[in-house]
Amino acid sequence: MTHEFGLRVYYEDTDLAGIVYYANYLRFIERARTEWVRTLGIDQGRLKAEQGIVFAVRRVEADYLRPARFDDELTVITRPQAATGARMVLEQDVMRAGERLFAAVVTLVCLTETGQPARIPAELRRRMEPAVH
């Protein structure tokens, strides 16, 4: 299952040259992951409050391929790749009119509120598994 999230580059996202500051791509893909999880019917705030678990980024492999600029319309494409008991791997691309600007492989882990590893609850895995190829 592929998820698409659209956004526009604002002035605050850029450096003096009008190019998106490199760290902001991580913010863009974070927003897209949050919306992807929401489309699966998962309320992360409720998950933390009721079950005491959260998802955290464990690893990011990032390739900056081309610059995005002020006022560009971008699309973040999220594709789940693999899932285990306590972790999930996603591929995320930032696109502009079909051109790939940024590519990342993101590993998420499930943690307790104290930072200890936790298994992804069965109900959440059932919701996520159809999305994983």
Specify the pLDDT at position 17. 94
Give me the active site residues, please: 15
Query: What are the residues facing 91 on neighbouring strands?
Result: 79, 105
Q: Tell me which residue has tokens 């919306």.
A: 35
Residue 129, pLDDT above cutoff 80: no
Q: pLDDT per residue over 82-115, tens digit each?
A: 888 999 999 999 999 999 999 999 999 999 989 9
- Sign of the alpha-carbon torsion through 69, 72, 77, 78: positive
CATH fold of the domain at 3-131: Thiol Ester Dehydrase; Chain A (3.10.129)
How far, CA to CA in Å, does 123 sit from each of 47, 86, 118? 11, 13, 14
Domain parsing of the chain, residue ranges: 3-131
The arrangement of strands across the sheet holding 99-112 comes to 3-8, 73-83, 87-96, 99-112, 53-64
Residue 59, pLDDT above cutoff 60: yes
Q: Percent of the chain at pLDDT above 90?
A: 82
Closest CA to 15 of 25, 6, 5, 7: 25
